[in-house]
Amino acid sequence: MTDNRDEYFMRAALEEARKGRYIAPPNPAVGCVIVKEGEIVARGYTHAPGSQHAEIDALMNAQAAGVDVAGATVYVTLEPCSHYGRTPPCAARLVKERVGRVVAALEDPNPQVSGRGLAMLREAGIAVDCGVCRDEAYESNIGFFTRMKTGLPWVRLKTASTLDGRTALANGQSRWITCAEARRKGRLWRARAQGILTGIGTVLSDNPQMSVREEKLPSPEKFVLDSQALTPMTFNILQGQPATIFVSSDAPGSRVEALTAAGARVQVIASDRTGLDLHEALKAIGEAGVNELHVEAGATLSGALLERGLVDEIVSFVAPALMGEGMPFAKLGPYERMDEVQRWRFVSVEPVGDDLEIVLRKNK
């Protein structure tokens, strides 16, 4: 039986989970609090892969504080794991510590767990409740859940445009449409993702770094759709974080060899009549352990992803400016009927400096 106290303590665990957002992936960012006699006696969150999970972190902190956790209630934002991976199973450790009750927000979708952790606890005589703050916990690890269920990452398309939807002048100039605060917020969205995807057109026209450039925050792994291996060896995209270049089977061998020698990981994927197979590329990115994929691309790739239904979320920074003739953020259509028009729902609208940050998701 859950009550308001369970929700209160689970939200404290969700706060802990946010601390692991940038370091936990490809594992889920999980938070944990241990409660005894109505008070939080220890907190923890998932650290980098191979290090302690949230439950172990909280137990270690309790031990360091001299707290006996026997009989305590453990609140955790995801089912404790039941298998040996990089670390021993958390469920077994909770049994060993003789905790009295475990409250989980939801089951782990990982096939290696998927209810087994909760079953292990129940078999040991520990009271278990599951489903407290389920929606908030799902949202906090939406990329992990998406990858576990579909094999694909959660795909977030980031755009920066004028009020009339333009991302560049007709002559190609685009710096800067949005304000400095919006550009920094965009880099923070990059840091949240484990991968960033762009196309060869953007690489050749902008020579982007695709890095975060914020102190102590990681930059995502870079992925480039480049069917003919045209990425110049000296360009910024090959510097810093690893870069995977997706090419077609007919890409010139000399170019592929040169990219490999420059430190890139070159991966051949199938092509269709419009170019590289985008679904196969996303599947490969998911297999690389990317939970959230940040897309910053030109109108052609952005439009292709949208037309194929491969974008889960749009983060649009909109400047209060009108450009007139220029490049749209995505090439779509042409549509002939209004029921063909893509419709999205607003998740949030917030001011950022002089601009607006608009987050949208697919209509359910």
| Cβ neighbours, 10 Å, residue 176 | 11
SS3 per residue for 164-215 = CCEEEECCCCCCCCCCHHHHHHHHHHHHHCCEEEEEHHHHHHHCCCCCCCCC
φ, ψ (nearest 5 deg) of residue 220: -75, 160
Q: What is the CA radius of gyration of the chain?
A: 23
Q: Which residues contact 21 (CB under 8 A, 6 or more apart)?
A: 29, 192
Q: Is 181 a catalytic residue?
A: no
**Residues, the chain:** 364
Say how far apart CA 290 and CA 148 lie, in whole Å: 11
Q: Which residues contact 107 (CB under 8 A, 6 or more apart)?
A: 79, 113, 114, 115, 118, 130
Give the closest residue to 168 by CA, choosing from 328, 31, 320: 328
Contact 113, 83 (CB under 8 A): yes
Q: Which residues contact 129 (CB under 8 A, 6 or more apart)?
A: 1, 2, 6, 101, 102, 103, 104
Q: What is the DSSP code string of 267-327?
A: EE--EETTEE-HHHHHHHHHHTT-SEEEE---HHHHHHHHHTT---EEEEEEES----SEE
Q: How far is CA 86 from the centre of its chain?
A: 21
Contact 126, 98 (CB under 8 A): no
Give the closest residue to 58 by CA, choosing from 106, 127, 12, 25: 12
Q: Which of 15, 37, 39, 55 is catalytic?
A: 55
Active site residues: 55
